Chains A and B, each alone.
Chain A
């Protein structure tokens, strides 16, 4: 099985879990217990917001409890951004777990960028649990005016 096939099947499983989770959320809403109500259009972790202007692509993700040095950020082929990392639960000494809603474990998410970027000048910073990445467009991805000669 190729790694992309595995990734696809993992994505499928995650989607199934997401449907089940939403179903459970509705069920718990009914009973007045609510585990989370953040709007999630995707169950992939972490959720990402992306913007672009003429110069760069900007990607933001919420990753509380993670240090920048524990993240692996890479760009493949100029347009595929990958963010990898993991988060462990941090129970206090002598604790018994009473309830856990926060995501733990490893994640590996790739998204397609709207334009080709220059992987050598990517800037990332993580502040208060929010990851911000700026990816400058590669020179050839910026729109170039094509001179049309009169025939």
Chain B
């Protein structure tokens, strides 16, 4: 018989932070996945460059701020379906993370964040001997 003890099967709690933004700001959409070794988050951050990203982990909370340069055209507006502004989001991460192994990459306006699980949070297979 094998018992697998997995920590934190829960998805991150979707919470939105509003750190007093002065201009209009937006909550980026995110997909989150869990693998045996890490949590992976993918944020849509259109208009954000790598040097405009401030990503930090404080205790169990991941905080993201993506700066977006204004890009209003010098012309008459005909149709406005979306607003442009910075992105803010904070998520509580329900699994203990090995903060030394945090990594993130930005590609085509999508930010992928890797949060490696701490050894303590990884599932460990327990072998049960017959008595």
Which residues of the partner chain A approach B35 to less than 8 Å between Cβ atoms? 92-96
Task: Decide yes or no whether B11 CB sits under 8 A from chain A.
Answer: yes
B56-64, B76-84, B97-105, B118-126 - the one binding chain A: B76-84
By secondary structure, the B interface counts as strand
Contacts A94-B35, A101-B31 given; indicate if A129 touches B110 (C-beta within 8 A).
yes
Which residues of the partner chain B approach A41 to less than 8 Å between Cβ atoms? 80-81
Cβ-closest chain A residue relative to B72: A51
Query: Which of A40, A89, A130 is close to B109, meaning CB atoms less than 8 Å apart?
Result: A130
Q: How far is the CA of A42 from the CA of B92 in the complex (A)?
A: 31
Task: Report yes or no: B11 in contact with A50, Cβ–Cβ below 8 A.
Answer: no
Contacts A49-B81, A50-B79, A128-B46 given; indicate if A58 touches B73 (C-beta within 8 A).
yes
Contacts A38-B26, A128-B46 given; indicate if A95 touches B34 (C-beta within 8 A).
yes
Cβ-closest chain A residue relative to B27: A37
Q: How many residues of A contact B (CB 8 A)?
A: 48
Cβ-closest chain B residue relative to A67: B108
CB neighbors of B among A78-103 (8 A): 89-103
Task: Report yes or no: B110 in contact with A65, Cβ–Cβ below 8 A.
Answer: yes
CB neighbors of B among A15-68 (8 A): 32-42, 47-53, 57-58, 60, 62-67
Task: Report yes or no: A42 in contact with B81, Cβ–Cβ below 8 A.
Answer: yes
Q: How far is the CA of A57 from the CA of B110 in the complex (A)?
A: 27
Q: Can you list 5 A-B pairs, Cβ within 8 angstroms, ordered by A?
A: A34-B16, A41-B81, A58-B73, A94-B36, A99-B30
Question: Interface residues, chain B, CB within 8 Å of chain A?
Answer: 11-16, 26-27, 29-36, 38-40, 42, 44-49, 71, 73-83, 107-110
